[in-house]
Amino acid sequence: MALRSIYRGLKKNNLLSPLCNSCSHLHSHSTSFGYKEVREEEKSQMVGNVFTSVASSYDLMNDLMSGGLHRLWKERLVSKLNPFPGMKHLDVAGGTGDVAFRILESINNVGRRAMRDIHDDNVLDETQIFVCDINPNMLNVGKKRAQERGFGDNKSLVWVEGDAEALKFEDGSMDGYTIAFGIRNVTHIEKALAEAHRVLKRGGRFLCLELSHVELPIFKDLYDYYSFSVIPALGELVAGDRESYQYLVESVRRFPSQEKFAKMIAEAGFDKVEYENLVGGVVAIHSGLKF
């Protein structure tokens, strides 16, 4: 309800043009929430509301919107990460645990076990995957899914409630940091990147999976049509919440382009910053190395 009134109010004034598409150019007190301009303090509250309301049907909606492709994207992310036994990994905004489960399964994989030596079995117990999310509802859904998959008692999986901009982990304590479809919801992306840089060890990797910009001519139009017409309608039908999914597609458009985001990652102190486009740019995996 609050969303609708803000939306109507801002629409009347039509404050900022959509051309200004980077958070860093905005006035210090306001930020983007989809195509709307909102005060910074409000953004995290509003994002919180969005995810509280979508938490229960989050996974179903993901499957419907991406046609099941999101699973492949997450597989690609984990294979790029190349997890190893004894790894300390942090998955931020990983509420429902998709990426964390995949990492755990990859480490415990039987095929890998055949190739290991004796030392690795002791080291396996040191593996720790932290799943951090700002929204407790998403974490609860994740814990339930962990139970269903048999990871309920697994000591390697640790669920932590926390803010990506102010992580409660020590400096240089993580081998890997992933954030899948979460960074565009963060109010200050630079802060989140700086925190990522802080908690990573030397040689640690930063990986970000995010919906990104499509430049291919005809495909771009198809994608736009799909995003603005089909997705909010799906949201209304399945989750009963059109506004949240409208926010989703708008926030994707407002997010910096692949090159710009890569620059931001490099500015945060990462080396060897690269990105890989999947499905022509619908999704991009950015990676960086910390030294």
Partner 1 sequence: MYRSAARRILPAVCRRAGHFRSKASPVRFSAPIIHPAAFSAAAASENARNHKPNNFEASKISSSSSSSSNEGRKPRVTDRPKAHWQEEQARVLQASLRHVPDYSKNDLLIGWDRLLNFIGQISLGWSDAAMIAGAREVGVSPSIVGSFPRKEAALVEFFMDDCLQRLIDIIDLKEDLTNLIPSNRVAKLVRIRLEMQAPYISKWPQALSIQAQPSNIATSFKQRAMLVDEIWHAAGDESTDIDWYVKRTVLGGIYSTTEIYMLTDTSPDFRDTWAFLDERVREAFDLKRRCKR
Judged by the rule CB under 8 A, the positions of this chain that interact with partner 1 are 80-82, 84, 87, 115-118, 175-176, 200-205, 271-272, 287, 289, 291
Task: Report the nearest approach of partner 1 to the CB of residue 272 (Å).
Answer: 5
Q: Which is nearer to partner 1, 239 or 285 (CB)?
A: 285
Task: Report the nearest approach of partner 1 to the CB of residue 7 (Å).
Answer: 42
CB atoms within 10 A of CB 11: 11
Q: Cα(50)–Cα(128) distance, rounded to whole angstroms?
A: 29
Residue 96 annotated as lining a ligand binding site = yes
Task: Report the nearest approach of partner 1 to the CB of residue 85 (Å).
Answer: 9
10 Å CB burial of residue 236 (0-12, 13-18, 19+) is middle
Task: Report the nearest approach of partner 1 to the CB of residue 134 (Å).
Answer: 25
C-beta separation of 144 from 72 below 8 A: no
Q: Which is nearer to partner 1, 98 or 175 (CB)?
A: 175
Structure tokens that stand for 206 in this block: 């930063």
Residues 6+ apart with CB under 8 A from 280: 214, 216, 219
C-beta separation of 277 from 284 below 8 A: yes
Task: Report the nearest approach of partner 1 to the CB of residue 253 (Å).
Answer: 30
Q: Which is nearer to partner 1, 225 or 291 (CB)?
A: 291
Distance of CA 29 to the CA centre of its chain: 24
C-beta separation of 178 from 205 below 8 A: no
Count of residues in the chain: 291
Q: Which is nearer to partner 1, 117 or 153 (CB)?
A: 117
Q: Which is nearer to partner 1, 39 or 272 (CB)?
A: 272
Residue ranges for the known binding site for S-adenosyl-L-methionine are 96, 133, 163-164
Residue ranges for the known binding site are 96, 133, 163-164
